[in-house]
Chain A
Amino acid sequence: MSIQNANTITPTPASPSQAISDKGLLRGAIGLAIISLVGFGLLYSLAGVGLGQALFPSAANGSLIERNGKVVGSSLVAQPFADARYFQPRPSAAGHDPMAVAGSNQARTNPDLRKRIDEALMGAAQRNGVDPSAIAGDLVTQSGGGIDPHISPQAAALQADRVARARGLGRAGVEALIARHTQNKQLGLLGQPRVNVLELNLALDAATSAEVNAPANGG
């Protein structure tokens, strides 16, 4: 392996002293700025938008969920739920406002974090009539982005009884809905099993209105 290999980097110019020049830097710099801003930044972004819109229009527009022709949410954005007839999402440091997405950024050793988790544990246990030790961790911790649309299947299961009672539905029916809305590991390999809270609650409303023939969006 000889060092002469380095010379194959490009063909050696016939007259190297003329081939090297450091002139024209300012023109190059201004030219490169124009190329970057318009050619790369703007045109590339527009190409990405065009391809996305053409191939995956629903996903490209925010995975919005419509009911009766009205946008009621996005399956990628958690909504707050307070009513006992609904499954609750994870707590949010951003108040579930997508314009303010954020985590709590509290350290594991921060006493405020411990106090908040303890209170959330007690609250969730009382609300769902279960022992605090049965509460799943994701239900009492704030997510990274503050709009995590999912909870773990355990966090859904421990709310099932309360939701069923509040709605006057059978527990088995609610559990079947949870099962239907549980997404397993993607491709059987990736991530964690999860339940989309907004989709589950919309399905609950649909099931209730079908059964009781009452308006879905009451309260």
Chain B
Amino acid sequence: MTEFLLVFALAIGLGWPLGRYLAAVMRGEPMRGDGLFLRLERPLYALLGTDPQRGMSWRGYAGAFLLSNGVLGVIVWLILMTQAWLPLNPNGAPNMSWDLALHTMVSFLTNTNQQHYAGQAQLSYLAHMMGIVSLQIITPMMGLALVVATLRALFGGRNAQARKADGQDQTPVDVGNYWADVIRPTLRLMLPLCLLWSVLLTSQGVPATLDGGPVLAPVDATVQMKEQKIPLGPVSPMVSIKQLGTNGGGWYGANSAVPLENPTPLSNLLETLALILIPVAVVFMIAGLTGRRRFAALVLGTMLVMSVASAGLAIWSEGFSSTSQDIALMEGKEVRFGAAPSALWAALTTQTSNGSVNAMHDSLAPLTGLVTISDMLINAIWGGIGCGLQQFIVYLLLGVFLAGLMTGRTPELFGRKIEAPEVKLLAVLVLLQPLILLGLTAITLSVPSLTGNSNPGFHAISQVFYEYASAFANNGSGFEGLGDATVWWNLTCSFVLAAGRYPALIIPLAIAAMLARKRQAPESTGSLQIETPTFALTLIAVIVILTLLQFMPVLVLGPVADHLSLIAR
């Protein structure tokens, strides 16, 4: 309970000023710190060949996003496949196979960090620092850039006034400069915050060294193990960005359950806070970026209610329900944390599309597993940096459309009508999730040789569904008993990862740009009021019904049936 209260209080208390700061950064106006940061940024813009003030159309913006992903992806893929020949490999990690390297690259490029490998043994220090950490820093900032561009477009674009004077249609909507939108928050928010977290985590015992770890003989010479290698490395900087950047991919195979990655209850508090800190700040950013505080309050309120409900349910299930009396409670958990902080982490890591773990989710109580899967299916309770809010905008558009139909008013958002072309694009997004998740789950379960389950019964259904849900939500956690380092899992998950990232980030931007080109009707008392508690409740209902109801059969067959057979023991 202490951890629960502390984490939410700190996230709101720190997220507010951070969000205001982030809004100033993304507005691109003169601000404090320019003296230092402009000096750092100018050579970078020169290298990128861009003027940070220059605007882009939504197509150019999305193109820049896709192309920069493509170039980064190819380079990282090559690094992973050749790491044994490259420097900084004191633990002798071998080259990755092409399919494992492909999955790893796509997984980190999509801000997912699903891992079908164990980092301490299968990645060199160089591959960690240049391949993995680079993507962990840059991909959340790309997500942020996309949602900021979408918000700008929702309010008519940066050139709204000029376009109005122009007679609307002549000039494209200016959604911002992609390169500046990625560089500015990285230098001014992400890297300083990560360095601070890195030092704080090292103070608790997370390693930060370039040396290989020592090999030692166990104290008790009667045991079978004759020597023990302690894997070290530049762990702390990576753990900071994996927590703060809604990444989730850890240095060690068992992630933040490993004491070297999460040594004390205090480091656990810092890492749990880091799960939601920036996603919360992004919500606060809305107020400063758009000038509409009530809109920011709507988003914050809706997300906070769902977040507290989901975390509360997980903590109750793991720490206080009848299944918490089980002798197996501590299976997959660490003594220094205990049940409730493990459940809190499980809920927040799936809400935010982070995916790091401090306890093995496979061994959680089935109802806690239900909470984590539901969080990933919704994927907009805070959500990944940028993509969570982007997904929320999708729900918002759907909610406005449905509420408009129910009340018999023209559905419009911020004075612009939502019409058939926009709704068709929304439908594509809404249909993509069940088609991919249920389709691939069905195929995989029907061919037992592909499945790779480690558990029998209903839990096996949960294992497969969890893996695809996690990939599509760009979460990256897993019911890790799954034997997933196979060509089938690597290739299907690579596809799901990309299908869960790119359409979900680009389609809302396209819709917003389509809206921006429409004539804006003044908001009056006759328009649908969205910045109200009533609409917030409607929105929660839309989110829950839309996402959970369509997956009800698989949730009943998986975690619910698993729970019933556990309490029937």
Contact = CB atoms under 8 A, between A and B. Distances in A.
Interface of A: 1, 3-13, 16-17, 19-22, 24-42, 44-49, 51-53, 55-56, 59-64, 71-77, 79-83, 86, 90, 95-111, 113-114, 117, 121, 137-138, 140-152, 185-187, 189-192, 194, 198, 201-202, 205, 217, 219
Contacts of A150: 334-336
Contacts of A189: 2, 6
Contacts of A64: 214, 230
B71 A191 contact: no
B160 A45 contact: no
Contacts of B135: 36, 41
Interface string B217-252: 111111111001111101011101100000000001
Given A28-B179, A82-B220, A144 B120 contact: no
Nearest to A63: B205
B59 A105 contact: no
A47 B455 CA distance: 43
Contacts of A141: 327-333
B134 A41 contact: yes
28 contacts: A7-B158, A7-B161, A22-B57, A25-B67, A26-B67, A28-B64, A33-B71, A37-B131, A40-B134, A41-B131, A46-B129, A48-B234, A51-B199, A61-B232, A62-B260, A73-B218, A74-B260, A76-B260, A79-B225, A102-B480, A104-B363, A105-B332, A105-B454, A106-B362, A137-B327, A145-B254, A150-B335, A190-B3
B489 interface: no
Nearest to B253: A101
Interface centre among B67, B293, B357 (most CB of A within 10 A): B67
Q: What 6 A-B pairs come out closest when comparing CB atoms?
A: A22-B60, A191-B265, A52-B208, A41-B134, A144-B257, A48-B237
Nearest to B210: A49
A187 to B, nearest CB: 7
B264 A191 contact: yes
B97 interface: no
A31 B49 contact: yes
Interface in B553-569: 562, 565-566, 569
Contacts of B186: 40
Interface centre among B56, B132, B194, B360 (most CB of A within 10 A): B360
Contacts of B364: 108
B172 interface: yes
B355 to A, nearest CB: 15
B188 interface: no
B53 interface: yes
Given A3-B414, A52-B208, A191-B337, A29 B360 contact: no
Contact of A98 (B170, B228, B234): B228
Nearest to B266: A186
B298 to A, nearest CB: 13
Contacts, number: 473
Interface string B48-91: 11100111110111011001101110011000000000000000
B20 interface: no
B211 A61 contact: yes
B533 interface: no
Given A64-B230, A77-B228, A107 B208 contact: no
B258 interface: yes
B171 A45 contact: no
B454 A60 contact: no
Given A6-B291, A28-B48, A109-B366, 19 more contacts: A1-B294, A11-B29, A22-B63, A25-B67, A28-B178, A29-B70, A49-B234, A49-B237, A52-B199, A80-B225, A101-B120, A108-B328, A109-B455, A141-B328, A144-B254, A144-B257, A152-B335, A190-B3, A191-B268
Contacts of A191: 264-265, 268, 336-338, 341
A99 B129 CA distance: 19
Given A32-B72, A61-B211, A105-B480, A219 B221 contact: yes
